């Protein structure tokens, strides 16, 4: 079986790479966090010291990194993937980055005869662990079909959304909807609590109707249990909304609701909550209303 390179073993990347090993794939891994690398090595993964080394040893290379600058550096920088990758190999970036940067990297790799897919994911750490992520993929359909079994080993849903960059455009759309949903949930539950109605009963009453959503089911119970440890950090959602606003403005699309939620997240960052889960949006509203949503 062909070797897969996996660069980026963070909150998402580590469980994703473990699921690839469980599915029988041979991995070569790389990360700055040596403890994460050792954990994968104990499961049978080989270890590389540079992205170039990973690329030279693998026919498919996956990256799962924080943002555009890191992906660009790993792909195109000194000792980067581009220096080791061979013609006919495939680069799959599963990070959530700017679609403009995805297209830029793809154009450079194409000069070396290398195909690229941008394949960001949704679902957070729990779905990364149990292998039920949603993956939205941009790139050539033929390459998507080739990579599909690998992506499916980490996900419940893998959808081809168009040419290169389309995956990240889709992810930005996803992140807009998630952010605004959490904000709406927060406003509603804070209002209900301040009005003297049990938030858990409100949640149970509305979840089966039109207001029900995956976001509501994922976040309301955690909020009421006061669990704000990160499934998806505020600082990463800020990054995604920044990419969404930049991309939208470049093509002439105003995003007033997205901008409002971005400013709420910025306020939480100032309050020292950037490492907390994005469900912490409710704490902004709680502070304004001087109340706390809990069971």
Domain boundaries, the chain: 3-163, 169-289
| Rounded Cα–Cα distance for residues 175 and 244 (Å) | 8
pLDDT per residue over 244-261, tens digit each?
999 999 999 999 999 999
Using a 10 angstrom Cβ sphere, with 0-12 exposed, 13-18 middle and 19 or more buried, the burial of residue 149 is: exposed
| Rounded Cα–Cα distance for residues 116 and 75 (Å) | 11
Catalytic residue at 72? no
For residue 126, is pLDDT > 90? no
pTM: 0.91
pLDDT per residue over 76-120, tens digit each?
999 999 999 999 999 999 999 999 999 999 999 999 999 999 999
Query: Does domain 3-163 bear CATH number 3.40.50.2300?
Result: no
Q: Given this model, what pLDDT does residue 125 score?
A: 87
| Rounded Cα–Cα distance for residues 116 and 79 (Å) | 19
CA distances from 185 to 122, 147, 216, 276 (A): 19, 37, 7, 17
| Rounded Cα–Cα distance for residues 172 and 160 (Å) | 15
Class of domain 169-289: mainly alpha
User: 90 pairs with which residues across the strands?
Assistant: 60, 115
With tokens 């800020």, the residue in question is 238
With tokens 């949704």, the residue in question is 122
| Rounded Cα–Cα distance for residues 93 and 121 (Å) | 10
Cβ-based neighbours of 94, under 8 Å, separated by 6 or more = 16, 62, 63, 64, 119, 120, 121, 135
Q: Which of 14, 18, 127, 171 is catalytic?
A: 171
With beta carbons less than 8 A apart as the criterion, state whether 216 and 181 touch: yes
Q: Which two tokens stand for residue 211?
A: 């207001």
Q: How confident is the model at residue 282 (pLDDT cuts 50, 70, 90)?
A: very high
Distance of CA 289 to the CA centre of its chain: 31
| Rounded Cα–Cα distance for residues 115 and 107 (Å) | 9
Q: Given this model, what pLDDT does residue 123 score?
A: 87
């Amino acid at each position: 079986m062909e070797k897969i390179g996996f660069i980026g073993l963070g909150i998402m990347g580590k469980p994703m790479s473990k699921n690839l090993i469980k599915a029988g794939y041979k991995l070569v891994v790389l990360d700055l966090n040596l403890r994460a690398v050792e954990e994968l090595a104990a499961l049978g993964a080989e270890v590389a010291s540079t992205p170039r080394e990973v690329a030279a040893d693998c026919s498919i290379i996956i990256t799962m990194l924080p943002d555009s600058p890191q992906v660009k550096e790993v792909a195109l920088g000194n000792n980067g993937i581009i220096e080791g990758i061979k013609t006919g190999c495939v680069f799959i970036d599963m990070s959530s980055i700017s679609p403009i940067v995805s297209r830029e990297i793809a154009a450079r790799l194409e000069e070396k005869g290398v195909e690229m897919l941008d394949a960001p994911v949704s679902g957070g750490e729990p779905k990364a662990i149990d292998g039920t992520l949603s993956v939205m993929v941009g790139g050539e359909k033929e390459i998507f079909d080739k990579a599909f079994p690998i992506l499916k080993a980490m996900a419940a849903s893998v959808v081809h959304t168009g040419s290169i960059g389309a995956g990240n455009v889709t992810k930005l759309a996803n992140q807009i909807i998630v952010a605004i949903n959490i904000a709406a949930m927060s406003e509603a539950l804070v209002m209900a609590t301040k009005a003297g109605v049990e938030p858990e009963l409100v949640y149970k009453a509305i979840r089966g109707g039109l207001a029900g959503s995956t976001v509501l089911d994922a976040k309301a119970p955690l909020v009421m249990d006061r669990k704000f440890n990160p499934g998806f950090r505020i600082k990463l959602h800020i990054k995604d909304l920044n990419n969404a606003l930049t991309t939208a403005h470049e093509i002439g699309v105003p995003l007033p609701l997205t901008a409002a939620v971005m400013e709420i997240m910025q306020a939480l960052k100032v309050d020292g909550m950037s490492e907390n889960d994005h469900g912490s949006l409710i704490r902004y509203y709680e502070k304004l209303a001087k109340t706390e949503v809990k069971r």
